[in-house]
Structure 1
């Protein structure tokens, strides 16, 4: 065959001398091995995607996301928990040299090195082989990252207090009260709202004050405020006797509302 036969030279490029129609190729010689992207392959992808979408919508209808009580930024006893795909990073920040003064290491440096290594894996191992056993560097980095992610996620799930988390998220009946009341002001000044919440519905480390008045008298409430009880240490209240009386009567009066 002569060089360039059937071709026309246009500058430094070559184009076909015959105009060919823009139709899909005939793949009958390779049955089951390949097919046209449009419409065969694209239609199959669309059908599979539709099935998964309908299935996902059915699951969301059958099992709706659980709702918790309204977020209270003043509740320092709240136990946070991110979504499942961030649990490994959440667990990483619990370790000594990845939290506190070393938060930058746990939040930026270690994840940056890990994800950076995965991004550089194709350039670190540029061999022509495609089998994982023939690409030890890329395969090793991927297995290491996968093992670390699974282990940290498992540690986060095991060490989380699920009972306390379920209790703190319960939607409780709120009681309307006057936040300008001297008793509420005394609670706020003593830091009681950090555990009991601004709406007084409590948390994992403190009971709901809206229910305390129904079981305790004003004198018992005043004694607990001064001497403590259960997880509440003594000496938390540092106000005057008048403020203590206003606080105890305010809490006791909540049960009547």
Structure 2
């Protein structure tokens, strides 16, 4: 306030009439075809409504059909074949192929998935088109369809293969057993019976706990080496009960076991 100038008052916005305040209006998007709707609250409200419908439907489905749970873990059950969750089954199946398993495990577990997911991540940078039609965007559309088809196929293969292996382990599916003619009085068979090989590989070499010994593609020296060192995921090493001379005779005998008709 200055002398001779009178007195002036400044209004406080906190005590003004709410009706006189300017309303917050959404921006005008009319210049952008297809985007004439305000994000808040119009578009976001629709998103919430759609999400609520799916959430309620998911909860109803969960209550009506609970997730199947397997029996408690039993370490004594050697026939049980564990499986990962369904969203990892396509990667699980990939590791079963020869080019992505064993010595090439790095290819199946890191390189192939890394290239696939890396290609999907690069799609937005490789395709900068503003078109929305999938037919006018062949590159990203092709990548997505290829990835989806691969995941569906590998998932289906994993489930089908697991069911077959589980049925085979439970004895529901029996693989044809090759037969071989041999002389039980021969020295090789006597060593085979004496060394308790029968308990794992069967009386007629048909297999059991261990693999069949008919038609093996191993030399005698390789069989001796397997008896000493074992096979990864299969026969343990050092299980032969006998001398080295008996082991070599047994290995020579096993190489003569060829299926009938061959």
Q: 1:231 to 1:62 in 2, by over 3 A?
A: farther
Q: How does 1:54-65 map to 2 (within 5 A)?
A: 54-65=56-67
2:93 and 2:155 in contact (8 A); partners too: yes
1:24 and 1:36 in contact (8 A); partners too: no
Aligned to 1:245: none
Aligned to 1:72: 74
Aligned to 2:106: 104
Per mean C-alpha deviation after superposition, the further-off stretch among 102-111 and 141-150 is 141-150
CA-CA distance at 1:105 after TM superposition: 0.8
Aligned to 1:161: 163
Q: 1:116 to 1:55 in 2, by over 3 A?
A: same
CA-CA distance at 1:80 after TM superposition: 1.8
In structure 1, what is the Cα distance between the partners aligned to 2:104 and 2:210? 31
Q: 1:41 to 1:99 in 2, by over 3 A?
A: same
Q: 1:137 to 1:104 in 2, by over 3 A?
A: same
CA-CA distance at 1:22 after TM superposition: 5.8
Q: Unpaired segments of 5 or more residues in structure 2?
A: 1-20, 172-197, 212-234, 240-262
Alignment partner for residue 90 of structure 1, among 89, 92, 98? 92
- Does residue 131 (structure 1) correspond to residue 133 (structure 2)? The answer is yes
TM-score of the pair, normalised by structure 1:
0.50
- Structure number with the bigger relative contact order (C-alpha 8 A, sep ≥ 6) is 1
What is the alpha-carbon root mean square deviation over aligned residues? 3.8
1:78 and 1:204 in contact (8 A); partners too: no
2:100 and 2:109 in contact (8 A); partners too: yes
In structure 1, what is the Cα distance between the partners aligned to 2:53 and 2:127? 38
In structure 1, what is the Cα distance between the partners aligned to 2:165 and 2:72? 19
Q: Unpaired segments of 5 or more residues in structure 1?
A: 1-19, 168-202, 206-225, 239-257
Aligned residues: 160
2:80 and 2:166 in contact (8 A); partners too: no
Q: How does 1:218-257 map to 2 (within 5 A)?
A: 227=199, 231-232=208-209
